[in-house]
Amino acid sequence: MIENNQPADSHSPGNGDVSPLRSWLAVGSVTIGAFAFVTTEFLPVGLLPQIARDLGVMPGTAGLMVTVPGVIAAISALGMMLGAGCIDRRHILLMLSVLLLVSNLISAFAPSFAFMLLGRAILGASLGGFWTLALAAAARLVRPHDAARATAAILTGVTCATVIGVPLGTFIAGLASWRASFMVTSVLVAVALAAQAVLIPSLPSRAALRVADLAALLRRAHPRRSLLMVALIFGAHFSSYTYIAPFLLQNASFSLSSITWLLLGFGFVGFVSNFAFSAIVTRNLKTSLVTVVSLLMLALLSMPLLRHSEPAVMVMVLVWGIAFGAMPLCLSVWMQLATPDLPEAGSALFVSIIQVAIAVGSLIGGTVVDQVGIPADFWFGSALALLGLAAIASFGGSGKTSANAELTRQVQSE
C-alpha cells in the first residue's frame, strides 16, 4: 500500500529539515491513527449481540455494521487514489482522521440502528483512503534509510488493531457498555488527530493513480487470479468472524466474560503468529499461505461440530487466531510480488478487494445466520476457505520455491 509519488523537491525529513525525533513522533501519530481506524472497523464484531439487542435488530442484520463500511471503503480506496491529484497528503490524512472521529461519536450516541449505519458509512468513506495513503506518508516522514522501519511501524499498528481491537472493545463493553467502547476509541482518535496536526509536515504530491494503470493490471491473468484468491480467503474469514461472538454466546454457551478472555487469546496468538510467519513468509510464501488457509478451514469446519465442548471450541478459536494473525501478511506479500511494476495500482486494488470481501462476506454470512443459523454460516466460511486453497493450488509450483522467484517468473510469463 505504498504510493510512490513524491516529487523531487517535496518537503520531507529526508531533506534534513526536520529532526529525527520529530520525524519518528510523526510516524507514531500515524501508527496510533492506523490502530484506531482498524479497531473501529472491527469493533462491532465483539459487540454484535449487545448492539443488536439494544437497537432492536437481529444479529444477521446487525452484521451490516461491517458490510456498509466495507462497501464504501472499497470505493473510497480507488476513488481517493484517483482523485487525490496534487492535494497535500497531510491535509488528506487530517481530514480522514476527522471523519473517523465523527464516525465513532455518531456510533457511540446512535439512538437507532439507522444512525449507527450512518456512522459506519462515514467510517467507510475514510477507511479506504487511509489504508491507501498511510504507509506512503510514513515512508516520507523519515530519512530514506529509515523508510522500511517507518513502514513496519505502521504495519504494527494495523496488525495490533486487527488482532486485539475486537477483544479490547469487548473488554471495555464488559466493564461499562458497548457505547463506552466507541467513546474510548473516539478519545484515541482525538489523540491521534491532535498529534498528527502538530507533528506531520507538509507532504505535497504531483502524481495520482491513473485509470489506465488499473486497467493494465486487470488485463493480466496472474493479478486477476491473485485478487480472486484474496477475495475468497478474506471472505471465508469475515463471513464467519463477524458472528463469532453470537456463536460463542448462543451455540457454545460461553458467558460474556469468557468470550472477552477468549477473544483476547485470539488476538494474542494472532499477534505472535504475525511475527512468527514474518520470518519465513518470503522464503516459503506458498507453503505459509496454504498452512494459514488450512488452519482457517479446520477451525470453521470444526467449531460447530465441537460446540458442546468448551475446551475444544477454545482450542479451535485459538487455531483460528493463529491463521488470521498471519493471513494479511501472507496475502500482502503475495500481491506485492504479483504487481512489481505497478505497485500503486496493485495496492489500491488489494485494499478494495479486501473491503469487498469483508462487505460481501459479512452480508451473505448475515443472511445465512438469520435464515439457517450460525453453524451453517461457519460451514459456508469453510467452503470459501476450500475454494481459496484451490485458487492457491492453481498457481502451481513448489511451496519450497523462493516466493519472489516463483511469482516473478509467473508474471513475466504472461
Tell me what pLDDT residue 127 has: 86
In the chain, the percentage of residues whose pLDDT exceeds 90 is 38
At 9, the pLDDT band (50, 70, 90 cuts) reads: very low
Q: What is the pLDDT of residues 351-402, one digit of tens each?
A: 888 888 888 888 899 899 989 999 999 999 999 999 999 999 998 764 444 4
At 256, the pLDDT band (50, 70, 90 cuts) reads: confident
Q: What is the mean pLDDT of the chain?
A: 83
Tell me what pLDDT residue 395 has: 87
pLDDT above 80: residue 405: no
Mean pLDDT of 312-329: 92
The structure's pTM equals 0.75
Tell me what pLDDT residue 12 has: 52
Considering 124-133, 142-151, 173-182, the range whose residues carry the highest mean pLDDT is: 173-182
At 313, the pLDDT band (50, 70, 90 cuts) reads: very high
pLDDT above 80: residue 342: no
Tell me what pLDDT residue 162 has: 66
**Domains of the chain: residue spans and CATH:** 14-208 (1.20.1250.20), 211-414 (1.20.1250.20)
Min mean pLDDT across 32-36, 243-247, 409-413 is at 409-413
Q: What is the pLDDT of residues 184-233, one digit of tens each?
A: 999 999 999 999 999 998 888 655 667 887 888 888 988 999 999 999 99
pLDDT above 80: residue 244: yes
- Spatial separation of the C-alpha atoms in residues 66 and 124, rounded to whole Å: 9
pLDDT above 70: residue 306: yes
At 345, the pLDDT band (50, 70, 90 cuts) reads: confident
Q: Which long-range contacts (CB under 8 A, 24 or more apart) does 56-62 make?
A: 56/113, 57/113, 58/370, 59/243, 59/246, 59/366, 59/369, 59/370, 60/243, 60/365, 60/366, 60/367, 60/368, 60/369, 60/370, 60/371, 61/113, 61/366, 61/370, 62/113, 62/366
- Spatial separation of the C-alpha atoms in residues 26 and 28, rounded to whole Å: 5
The 3-state DSSP class for residue 209 equals coil
Cell numbers 500482502 label which residue?
332
- Spatial separation of the C-alpha atoms in residues 36 and 54, rounded to whole Å: 24
CB 381 within 8 A of CB 365: yes
Min mean pLDDT across 39-53, 153-167, 175-189, 313-327 is at 153-167
pLDDT above 80: residue 248: yes
Give the count of beta carbons closer than 10 Å to the beta carbon of residue 14: 19
Tell me what pLDDT residue 67 has: 85
